[in-house]
């Protein structure tokens, strides 16, 4: 009996897959051609051959440029997995040749930038031949990069739930409410969450872990926080709190310096700190190469030593 015929997509080439990746990233054939050092007709030809093999449209025009269709997204995910596999293959071959280095691409959520670079620097000092690429973004950007095989692993506070991952705890991640040093509650003992209901809170964007944590604290007592402003970064939140625009629930690791030098005060709120954890996270199907595994192990074991805390 004859075996099942393979779908024509099994005969596509890396050139065709890379044309799709570049076109989706750049939004136009001409920009994709420039990034690939090809001509626009060459990219168009590769895309036509790829769509012919797929048997379905892979791209659609939108106001913001060319974007993948549902079928295109499936092929795009495959293309990214192929590139990740080839990169891993190259690193493995380097190791077999006796190379002592390698390359690691690490994603770091923006809150972790207050400790992760110091940890990475310590690792680099001990492993000077390992090249580290660092990508800093918000939670959604980091998860997307992890899902799309753009990272070996990431440092974050809450592992994603939308796809399978492996994870290791780095250390505790406490959250406190901070205020200007001259705030009327600064120095007061055992403040209740209900006492803070009328205070103006400065929040991160929707989907932020600190925002959800604060909303949960108020929901537990049947109240809602008085939201004054939505701010996209911890640095801006700190500056806004210091300027007297409100108070904020924030990671202690982001405010250690400002608390130590008296620019911010931690309020003594009952039930706080709310303690989460820092994690190193990778896709469940991601096979780490030796350099990546060494950095993963270093962060899982020694990353806690680089977490900054206010002086007590």
Task: Supply the range of the domain harboring residue 251.
Answer: 173-275
Task: Give the residue from 20, 44, 77 where a domain finishes.
Answer: 77
CA-wise closest residue to 246 among 183, 155, 172, 156: 183
Q: Is the peptide bond before 273 cis (omega within 30 degrees of 0)?
A: yes
Q: Return the ∠ at Cα 226 (arms to 220 and 227), rounded to 5°.
A: 110
Residue 77, C-beta contacts closer than 8 angstroms, at least 6 positions apart: 148
For residue 100, the model assigns a pLDDT of 59
**Residue 88, domain member (yes or no):** no
Strands 226-230 and 200-203: parallel
Q: Do 215 and 235 lie in a common domain?
A: yes
Q: Do 26 and 155 lie in a common domain?
A: no
**Residue 90, domain member (yes or no):** no
Cβ atoms of residues 245 and 157 within 8 Å: no
- The DSSP output letter for 247 is B
For residue 225, the model assigns a pLDDT of 81
For residue 99, the model assigns a pLDDT of 42
Mean pLDDT per block of 10 residues along the chain (312 residues) reads 64 92 93 93 93 92 92 92 84 59 89 94 92 92 94 95 95 95 94 90 82 84 83 91 94 93 95 93 91 93 94 70
CA-wise closest residue to 283 among 154, 106, 137: 154
The three-state secondary structure class of 60 is: strand
For residue 95, the model assigns a pLDDT of 62
CATH of the domain at 142: 3.40.190.10
Residue 292, C-beta contacts closer than 8 angstroms, at least 6 positions apart: 102, 104, 152, 153
Count of the separate structural domains present in the chain: 3
Name the residue with tokens 């099994």.
Answer: 10
For residue 1, the model assigns a pLDDT of 41
- Angular region, 102: left φ>0, alpha ψ -120 to 50, beta rest: left
**Residue 229, domain member (yes or no):** yes
């Amino acid at each position: 009996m004859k075996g099942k015929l393979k779908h024509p997509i099994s005969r596509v080439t890396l050139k065709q897959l890379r044309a799709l990746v570049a076109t989706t990233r750049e939004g136009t054939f001409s920009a994709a051609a420039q990034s690939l050092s090809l001509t626009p007709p060459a990219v168009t030809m590769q895309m036509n051959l790829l769509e012919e093999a797929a048997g379905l449209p892979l791209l659609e025009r939108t106001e913001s440029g060319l974007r993948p269709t549902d079928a295109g997204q499936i092929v795009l995910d495959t293309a990214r997995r192929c590139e990740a596999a080839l990169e891993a293959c190259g690193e493995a071959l380097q190791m077999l040749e006796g190379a002592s280095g390698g390359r690691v691409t690490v994603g770091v959520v923006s809150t972790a930038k207050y400790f992760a670079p110091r940890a990475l620097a310590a690792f680099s000092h001990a492993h000077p031949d390992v090249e580290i690429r660092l990508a800093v973004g918000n939670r959604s950007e980091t998860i997307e990069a992890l899902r799309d095989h753009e990272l070996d692993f990431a440092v974050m506070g809450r592992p994603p739930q939308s796809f399978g991952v492996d994870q290791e705890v780095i250390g505790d991640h406490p959250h406190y409410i901070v205020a200007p040093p001259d705030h009327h509650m600064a120095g007061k003992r055992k403040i209740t969450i209900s006492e803070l209901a009328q205070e103006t809170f400065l929040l991160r964007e929707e989907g932020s872990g600190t925002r959800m944590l604060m909303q949960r604290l108020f929901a537990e007592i049947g109240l809602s926080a008085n939201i004054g402003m939505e701010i996209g970064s911890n640095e801006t939140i700190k500056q806004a709190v210091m300027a007297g625009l409100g108070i904020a629930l924030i990671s202690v690791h982001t405010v250690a310096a400002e608390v130590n030098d008296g620019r911010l005060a931690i309020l003594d709120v009952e039930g706080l700190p709310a303690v989460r954890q820092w994690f190193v996270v990778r896709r469940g199907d991601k096979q780490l190469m030796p350099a990546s595994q060494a950095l993963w192990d270093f962060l899982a074991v020694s990353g806690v030593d680089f977490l900054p805390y206010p002086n007590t």
